[in-house]
Structure 1
């Protein structure tokens, strides 16, 4: 199977400020018509019918849900989606949290994970790997992409919070460019994935707080949009 991954930017959509313009988040206060147009455009870009995009109701937890077909509504109370169904794109929405896209090309099992500070701390990626394995994936065949997120140089937190997350997600503690306590969630997740035996780990180095082409809750406040990270498997072209 061929694993496909897409990460959107905020450009090229239909939403007005402050959601301009390619917002894909449904609970941020955007105009429903603009949101619907953006989601249609995403489906067209991916090359599937809109009804095949699978969304999730993200709650910053560690629940990973196995999806066996299209869903009429977002999967409830889940921060990771896993499927072995070809051409069924899974979507994670982010605006500073880490989108983690996992795929085993041999089995065709894929996962989309929303890994913010809370979810990463309680093991949402570990839950996703476990569910992928139960669906037929092998950890040593899985390839991971850690998408754009708030970088450690920007992500300032209280020292007590940094130390607490570090205890649960080793490798995440850092200092910001100001010399204050910070968190690099991608660094901690990289260590977690490598320690689990994942075959390959790539990182999109963009920082959502620094890159104006991406949405950022920490930079712009609660009235901002959401970027989509999408993954799916498709059969190899035998021609």
Structure 2
């Protein structure tokens, strides 16, 4: 499992430099070059990187091979196919990477405030179970995202999200109403039977090495990538640009 940072790409400001999002206004040639660099760093053929057209939905798509272009209108990808890398793009939302090594089933989930609230993560786990995964064997890695200390929202929004995603309500460092979406997802995963949950503590708003829509839009997108090599399994852990975990 891998999460990228801003470093190591060819995009110009404000997308500098390793922007992997093709929908944010960056030069398409730069995005293509960055995606090729990602594939090369992972040792995966570029067509075997599977991208999503993310729309903050509850839609989950099971894929069994390379896809020509982004999978349309979906916020989670699931596969049991080895050497097929699933990619989620974020810039404050929570990237969730899931793997059941014994079953050989993996998933990449885009879980922002809306998607987490309406249950995209449990839907992805259900889809994984349909391919033979078991919740108690799934390892989950929650990537860099807006932290609760920075993610300020109006009281009515906090109450609404907390009702649907218990554990997400918090106070910001300004002592205002906030949301810690990763905390809510971690609790949601536990309720679904997932026992191994690792949280990358980095805040996209605070950490200038990461893209953040809230800190400054327009901006680029980070990638979270999960894949199952044909000779081994995927496992939860930390990550760096172009690195493995």
Answering whether residue 227 of structure 2 is matched by residue 232 of structure 1, we say yes
Q: Deviation at 1:135?
A: 1.1
The alignment of Structure 1 onto Structure 2 pairs a total of residues equal to 232
Tell me the equivalent position of 1:80: 76
Measure the CA separation in 2 of the matches of 1:196 and 1:232.
Answer: 22
TM-score, structure 2 as length reference: 0.94
For structure 2, list consecutive stretches of 5 or more residues without a partner in the other structure: 233-245
Tell me the equivalent position of 2:133: 137
Measure the CA separation in 1 of the matches of 2:195 and 2:231.
Answer: 20
Measure the CA separation in 1 of the matches of 2:190 and 2:108.
Answer: 18
Q: Deviation at 1:197?
A: 1.0
Q: Deviation at 1:201?
A: 0.3
Measure the CA separation in 2 of the matches of 1:161 and 1:93.
Answer: 24
Structure 1 runs (4+) greater than 2 angstroms displaced = none
SS of the equivalent of 1:112 reads strand
Per-residue Cα deviation, 1:30-66 (whole angstroms, up to 9, x for no partner):
0111111000000001111101100000000111110
TM-score, structure 1 as length reference: 0.96
Tell me the equivalent position of 2:208: 212
Q: Deviation at 1:73?
A: 1.2
Tell me the equivalent position of 1:203: 199
Tell me the equivalent position of 2:177: 181
Tell me the equivalent position of 1:64: 60
Measure the CA separation in 1 of the matches of 2:157 and 2:195.
Answer: 31
Tell me the equivalent position of 2:15: 19
Measure the CA separation in 1 of the matches of 2:199 and 2:211.
Answer: 18
For structure 1, list consecutive stretches of 5 or more residues without a partner in the other structure: none
- List aligned pairs for 1:42-53, cutoff 5 A: 42-53=38-49
Measure the CA separation in 2 of the matches of 1:34 and 1:73.
Answer: 17
